[in-house]
Structure 1
Amino acid sequence: MEELIAARVRTVKPSFVREVLKAAGRKDLISFAGGLPAPELFDVEGMRQATLEALEKDPVGALQYGATEGHAGLRGEIAKLMAERGAHISPDQLVITTGSQQGIDLIARTLLDPGDVVLLEQPSYLAAIQVFELAQAEMRGIGSDGEGVLPDDLERQILALKAEGRAPKLIYLVATFANPSGATLSRERRVRVLELAAQHGIVVIEDDPYSELRFHGESVAPMVGLAQEVEGAENLSVYLSTLSKVVAPGLRVGWMVLPAWLQQKLVIIKQASDLHASTFAQHVGYRYLQSGRMEQHVPKIREAYGQRAQHMMATLERLLPRVLQFRAPEGGMFLWASMASGVDTMQLVPRAVDAGVIYVPGAPFFANPEGHAHHLRLSFSNSTPEQIEEGVRRLASVVMD
């Protein structure tokens, strides 16, 4: 029955992380794979109170259909949050989504025709690669280092594509604590990327699920805020974020900041997709943000993740000295590491699972995976220090065997 499947779907690969998470259900398995928030850090009481308030103060609104753009109160609270992050926007620029993942999909469906070129940092977020594959786009990787994407390489690739008569349509970046690399794009590079986008008429998507999780260093304003300082960039800047990493992923509340020309068309696509994000979830999210509990709770998450990151790095240095190389992140959920000996980390996965530990190999994070088989991503967010210690010990037993 394969011939009944749409051609664009036949070649799309399943998400490696989602498949790995099926195995992670084993009770004896320590998972460094999925970027899951620590469940013991959920503000359950705060969510309970927000849910009760949503049902007590506006039960009809919480349980009825709503506007495609999203709940007005929630958009207002998110606009305040955006101002704290360094981007002063109007609530009218916001569209509430079912997690920021839906935002990537809606942008792709609104802007991309088959064969259009998307430029994305290398390595890049797996699920974004999956969306662009489904849109039948051509993906070109931009080189990166510890400060994120390299603007000179971005410019080189733009000019090369334009010389072929093929102007790229999108640039996709996770500018703060990138998934999987953990790198943060410096302010200077953010401005340069925006300048290039404005010069060549390319839409920039900044996906920002992690910026609240900074445990070291100074924050950097989001590109949608900096775009107001770069002539021509404001009309080409898109920003995505979510409450998943700091409140609860089960809430599935995300948002987009969009220029008006794009918002008008994207809202039509969203209407056809799901009418609107869950009104009940939006009302709960609104009440939670309005209560001020998020500002009180996030420092606890930052402290815990900072401790877990430090413990994972110290344990790796102790048990796998000079074998596993990595950069220390300033926030987020991940360590991006490389096998010094060039070992194929994909081939190690079955042995690691047998030993009771799981991670994500690095190759799937690249649009062109050749030459990247020695990388791996380790998540520290969802493991206690004791689990990190034992998990790294199990990993070392496989690597050193």
Structure 2
Amino acid sequence: MSESCNSRHFSWLMKSCLPNPSDAKSLVPIHHHANPPATVTPISSLPDDLLLECLSRVPSSSIPSLTAVCRRWSRLLLSPYFLHLRRRLGLLRHSLFAISAVDSGLFAAVLQPQSEVPSWRVSLAVCNDGGQGSLSHARAAAIGPRVYVVSRNAVLRYDSWTGTVALRSPMIFPRKKFAIAVVSGKIYVAGGGGGSEVTAAVEEYDPERNRWEVVTHAARKRYGCIGAAVDGVFYVIGGLKIGNETSVTSRGTAAHVYASSMDLFDVRSRQWLRSRSVPGGGCVVAACAAVGHVYVLSSHAVELSFWRFDARRGGGGGFGEWTRLKSPPLPAQVRLDGTVRFSCVGVEDKVAVVQVVGCIDDLLRRSGRSERGLRESLVLLYDTVDGEWRRAADLPEMITRAACACVEW
């Protein structure tokens, strides 16, 4: 074989592996990658369920900025599934929430009783739709981080995550001093009214559809009643009867019975259960639900009594049993008269009793005391585990005649 060689000595297969000098494309270097680059998928292309899984893990402080990304993200953050995922991941904290209306908007204050040093965090929200000026007799009910402030002719939704306020549909029957509670993500109201007219209609509000509808009628019309909910039962507690009783004796008896009793409405079956009465009589001035029980604060003209009703149905519990608990230690300057009202809010295993003076100037003038040392409102916390009371931070001064609720955020 000759030692010299040329292209004719190469087989066709070998020549096919060499670049052709006359072909510019064949001179382009070929890079061989051990691992081809992965395809980049933007988060916006994810389906809703996967996107919710991602968004539900962000810190609470980042949620306000997420709502401003796009309409789709804002819609997902408002969905009940986002709230369910954060609750399942243990990222929600229960807090005591108080809100009051001023000319410029709404003052909102949040207190976390579980903190080592609980303190109120105050914010001001402006309602661009108006309507905040008619909330003098409003009730508050919270669904997750959103608080619905329900008054006679208006309903406002306050988002504790974003600090925004939106106007929602009002109740069908305008009413004040009514009972309100949340059952399975829907709001229920009963009792109350305007003037001498007290309505028997029980309304249900669906926040997703922004719609009210009448679901039943109560056998007893109550004015000034209080609401609570445990295990699918809506409790309508206390209040007065405003009806057609002819004699003074009949009116007095009816008022006494109503003031110390509660009606039970089973939301799922749409049926009223047997009514219960608070032992010892008195007038129920505040009530709430916590850890499977209804807690009731009653006034006896010169003192308060505190009761617990076992509202756990089934499972061998003592449904319907009453237990008297230690009364809240109110300061000596607090008088049980018409100038003082109370709110009870269940916050996990705590019961918060918020005492609010309706008009502090009238109280000071009638009592003859100076303003020094007298606050318009105070907060007491009852621990349902050890059965002890302790005083929490007073409501901020700008929170007056507050509506209170428990929020998750």
**TM-score scaled by length of structure 1:** 0.24
Between structures 1 and 2, the one with greater strand share:
2
Between structures 1 and 2, the one with greater helix share:
1
**TM-score scaled by length of structure 2:** 0.24
